[in-house]
Amino acid sequence: MIRRPLRAVTVLAGAAAAVTAFATPASAAPALNEAAGPAVLAAAQQKLGDSLGAAFAGSWLDTATGGLVVGTTDASGSARIRAAGATPKVVRHSAAELKKIQSTLDNRTAGLPGSVAGWYVDTPANEVVVSVVGGDAAGRAWATSAGVPVRVDQVKSAPRPLWAVIGGQGLYFSGGACSVGFNAYDDDDHYVITAGHCTELGGTVRGVDGTIGRVERSSFPGNDYGTVKVTHSDVSTPPRVDRYEDGSDVRIEGADVVGVGGRVCRSGITTHWRCGRVEALDQTVNYGNGNIARGLTQTSACAEPGDSGGSFVSRPESGSGTKLVQAQGMTSGGSGDCDEGGTTFFQPVKEVLNRYDLTLEKD
């Protein structure tokens, strides 16, 4: 039986009186506020918007009282708004006018300065706002030269796309491809845990949507674990594992160990979501060429090259709702394949958590 690490080498979640005194008049509708719930509020907003027609200027919840406020450019519509249970506010611009101003900006993106972080309708203020990083002169000039009334707000930084590192998804090194195990943190930083024979490649590490950071620590042979320090601010590290075509992501709840005979599942970029049973604990595995790893767990879940480092978790319970699982370890190596079946070993995650004083990410 050939045993090997599973790195794919490439080139690359008084009462009666009080009630009478304060009773709502029969002619008035119940007050519309946050407690009414989204569905009731949405229906009321739609009905008032249709009723007010061109004078409608949007609606919003008062952050101090939670009450629904409805804007109108025609004061004669105020009685209608009160009768519906909302508070009227007479403003200058209708919702349609504000949208037209926003559209004017939308159509002027050619030559847009990078310091312009974006623009939006501030409905309570009845204004269109342009956000400019640091109050940059070029950004302010672009906003004020559009020929439409806008408010320029200064923001500290520009927005950026955010993407998540999910267990079982791809992890790419300069000389090979592996899979994400688990996300963890200490007092100062966030890390991605994977297999040590993957992190021994060192250097900068990428994920499915861009650069994550650099290899921080690596232990192989002897052990088979390593960490990648997350250094890019656009990367989030949720406690989730990808089940690919088998269903929605599962969420890591803890790291209780599944014993011999227990069911486990693993995730990786090559063979995706595969399940099996734990066959042995604390096994020493010889990968050849002096590469011996100790303390591994043997399973009947198959895996193939590229799945290395990927998440091993307790099998999720059936039923609806978010599936909660216990983190077990990171795929290390094995024999056979997923066509004919095989044996796969994983490095228990508790060892690396204890060794580096890390805590698994939580929602």
- Which one from 197, 267, 311, 332 is the annotated catalytic residue? 197
Q: Which tokens go with 197?
A: 């024979």
Amino acid at 222: G
132 vs 141: CA distance, rounded Å? 10
Q: Is 224 a catalytic residue?
A: yes
Q: What gap in Å lies between CA 127 and CA 101, rounded to an integer?
A: 9
Tokens (6 digits) for 97: 């006018």
Our measurement of the distance from residue 9's CA atom to the centroid of its chain's CA atoms, rounded to an integer in Å, reads: 29
Tell me the Cα Rg of the chain. 29
93, 115, 219, 224: the catalytic one is 224
Question: Which candidate in 219, 308, 314, 332 is catalytic?
Answer: 308
Q: Is 74 a catalytic residue?
A: no
320 contacts 245 by C-beta, under 8 angstroms: no
For the question of residue 197 being annotated catalytic, the response is: yes
Tokens of 243: 């089940």
Question: Under DSSP, is residue 101 helix (H, G, I), strand (E, B) or coil?
Answer: helix
Pairing, β 68-72 against β 87-90: parallel
Q: How many whole angstroms separate alpha carbon 343 and alpha carbon 254?
A: 25
Q: How far apart are the first and last CA of the chain?
A: 41
What backbone torsions phi and psi does residue 33 show, to the nearest 5 degrees?
Answer: -145, 180
**Which residues lie closer than 8 Å to 188 by C-beta, 6 or more apart?**
none
56-61, strands of its sheet edge to edge? 56-61, 68-72, 87-90
* DSSP conformation class of 145: T
Residues identified as active-site: 197, 224, 308
